[in-house]
């Protein structure tokens, strides 16, 4: 199974509500995912497959108030509670769109989200899940085994870290004694993340070349 992340190009809206005590409550809502449409990553989620995954997530996570997400994507499918920034309170299909609503939580990461929104920063959402991919009709179609892990709050993924996220997304994840763990790439990721900021572009290029060499050696 692959770790699959998708940035939604549709803008999400931030609604600021006031609680009875006068405190502000931040809510993000909009299109969280789309079915039957080739996205910017060249992937297609057939509606029956995405619908099944969303319904399962709503039943097991949203309705039990456990549907939390993070600020930015981590390297794996597991939600890290110390990085949680929001609680997804609603998720449903409207046509081919999955429309959602998330409440920003008063956690350290949630406070960062609030600060960004207060400063006028346009944030987006990105789904994170696990599943297989099959080449079909010029696109990578997500398989029937797709599992939706959560929806994270992100900025545009074309940031410098995009290479790291892209590599980690391509890693095969396997169940090992009940724990999901990556099979490869960990050393490359560590090299990039621990490099001094001034040298990160050079390290990213070097590790990217190493990554391409690794791919060629496996073809």
Catalytic residue among 85, 86, 126, 149: 126
* 213 tagged catalytic: no
* 73 tagged catalytic: yes
Backbone angles phi, psi at 91, to 5 degrees: -155, 120
Element (H, E) at 56: helix 47-57
Catalytic residue among 73, 85, 86, 149: 73
Q: How far is CA 88 from CA 57, 75, 95, 133, in A?
A: 11, 21, 20, 26
Contacts made by residues 185-193, CB under 8 angstroms, sequence distance 24+: 185/211, 189/75, 189/164, 192/163, 192/164, 193/164
What residues are labeled active site?
A: 73, 126
């Amino acid at each position: 199974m692959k770790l699959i992340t998708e940035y939604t190009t549709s803008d999400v809206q931030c609604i600021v509500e006031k609680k009875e005590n006068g405190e502000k409550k931040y809510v993000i809502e909009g299109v969280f995912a789309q079915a039957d449409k080739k996205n910017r990553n060249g992937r297609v989620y057939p509606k029956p497959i995405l619908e099944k995954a969303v319904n399962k997530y709503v039943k097991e996570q949203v309705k039990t108030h456990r549907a939390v997400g993070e600020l930015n994507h981590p390297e794996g499918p597991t939600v890290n509670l110390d990085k949680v920034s929001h609680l997804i309170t609603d998720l449903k299909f409207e046509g081919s769109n999955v429309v959602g609503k998330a409440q920003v939580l008063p956690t350290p990461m949630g406070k960062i989200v609030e600060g960004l929104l207060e400063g006028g920063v346009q944030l987006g959402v990105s789904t994170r899940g696990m599943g297989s991919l099959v080449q079909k009709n010029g696109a990578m179609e997500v398989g029937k085994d797709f599992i939706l892990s959560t929806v994270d709050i992100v900025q545009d993924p074309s940031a410098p870290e995009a290479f790291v996220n892209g590599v980690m997304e391509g890693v095969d994840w396997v169940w090992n004694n009940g724990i999901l763990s990556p099979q490869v790439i960990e050393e490359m990721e560590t090299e990039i993340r621990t490099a001094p900021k001034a040298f990160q572009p050079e390290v990213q290029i070097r590790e990217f070349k190493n990554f391409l060499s690794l791919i060629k050696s496996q073809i």
